[in-house]
Chain A
């Protein structure tokens, strides 16, 4: 009985508040927009019993998905989200790897402090960290003031409200997610392998390419997915730093729902986004599984 309750409570909670809501999204994505409350059709007529349910099923269709595939806006939003997420993952890797590498090479007594310095921003509000760039990147922002003052540029750069600002925001906020798995992989690396490579005539640089990078592969893959997956559906960064110049699907969904009040289209956008995400999620799970098996 106790065992039953132990399993039952979290199970039912997740069924009711995770699975059922998702099925509702799926259902509404197949409905039509209507000027009613709730603003979609059809609604199940429970009073008519089985016939009501059958009528309901027959009225569902894929119209919203056809609409998504025909309207340029959605195509562009999905593609530009994919592009922004992929490119900023690469940038985060380029910025994060040297930091993780430096941490792994640092003297032992520094490491707890360095770890804490990487983790601290993670506990700080995401919103505040994105906001902190607004004062820096603006046309009269500190970066432009500084560059004008040093004479590097003669006219202010337009960074705010462009995709560049979104890249900076993603790299900045997701950097700890990239550093930590890479550092975990580098820390385990057996340094005698590097010695062996150098004894056999490798230069330091080629030993790095041929030994260190391949052995930290799992960390690189895990870090990249940890950045790519949330970046794809990101809403806060494009809406604060990207302005109207950046199209990302998370923002489109938000506006479809809150500004246009088009629930069926918003739901269809969500379903397609999830279908796109399933591929990287499965790849990520596989990589984790492999890493775990390799550890044992």
Chain B
């Protein structure tokens, strides 16, 4: 007995207007000809052109991409290992500490994570740059990956792994041939999550980046502190467009694969 009332319709409409209007305005004003961001002076793609010539932004974007790809890849490997250990690893010395260290970074304020990593890097005399940002990002995003992957590991049927072992697989083979294909969607979404977290991160990167490496969020933050700028609007629009296309296509792909899986299961039952 579900009744979709006027109240529901109104709250959904208002809610989504609230969520999306600021971003829509941001996108519209990125095509504004005027330098004054709040005064509309006609349509123009001028700021996109200027953005493409801004070397500092392009360099920062390149650094950000390098950091995001490498940190999310290492984080996915480590996070999947950690999830496997937590769900299937049985008992070992210091298990409580281990699971604590997996969950703690999720709730740790970014300023504290950033500060503590910076003090470590200074303490051991590590030069700050791309490498230290990758270390920092890997550390917090591996915890997110491990949460995503372990929720999938918990829900899947352990007897499949046991069957593979009974049929003569080594533990390694049963992992590569049985476990990994089943948890692959979770591993992939873990990677995507880690990638986005790394792209977005301002606070931890600010602490761990040296003068030699500036990421895009650091660059945006220092520009935005001085006020609204049409170039940042243009940059934001590009980023919003990439995310929107990415999320929508990922959800279409997963919808198709779910449909295919259901069809295959149905056929298996019929035959």
Q: Which residues of A contact B (CB under 8 A)?
A: 2-3, 6-7, 9-11, 13-15, 17-22, 24-25, 28, 38, 95-96, 98-99, 101-103, 105-107, 112, 114, 116-121, 123-129, 131-136, 138, 140-142, 145, 172, 175, 191-192, 194-195, 229-230, 232-236, 239-240, 250, 253-254, 257, 263, 266-267, 270, 273-274, 277, 281, 284-285
Contacts and interface: CB of A to CB of B under 8 A. Distances in A.
B85 A7 contact: yes
Given A2-B172, A142-B38, A270 B15 contact: no
B2 A191 contact: yes
Nearest to B36: A140
Contact of A18 (B16, B18, B105): B105
B1 A192 contact: yes
Contact of A25 (B7, B112, B146): B112
Contacts of B255: 112
Interface stretch (B44-52, B194-202, B260-268): B194-202
A117 B248 CA distance: 10
A292 B55 CA distance: 51
Interface of B: 1-5, 7-9, 11-12, 15-16, 18-20, 22-23, 25-26, 29, 37-38, 78-79, 81-82, 84-85, 89, 92, 94, 98, 101-105, 107-112, 115-117, 119-120, 122-123, 135-136, 138-139, 142, 146, 171-172, 196, 199-200, 202-203, 217, 220-221, 224-225, 227-228, 232-233, 236, 239-240, 243-244, 246-248, 251, 255
A19 B101 contact: yes
Contacts of B108: 274
Given A105-B3, A124-B23, A233-B111, 18 more contacts: A2-B171, A7-B85, A7-B89, A95-B15, A99-B16, A102-B11, A117-B19, A121-B20, A124-B240, A128-B220, A131-B220, A132-B23, A136-B22, A240-B224, A240-B225, A267-B115, A270-B111, A277-B107
Contacts of B92: 7
26 contacts: A3-B89, A6-B85, A7-B85, A7-B89, A7-B98, A10-B81, A10-B82, A10-B142, A13-B138, A18-B101, A18-B105, A22-B116, A25-B115, A98-B8, A101-B8, A106-B8, A120-B247, A123-B196, A123-B247, A125-B217, A125-B243, A126-B202, A128-B26, A131-B228, A132-B22, A253-B112
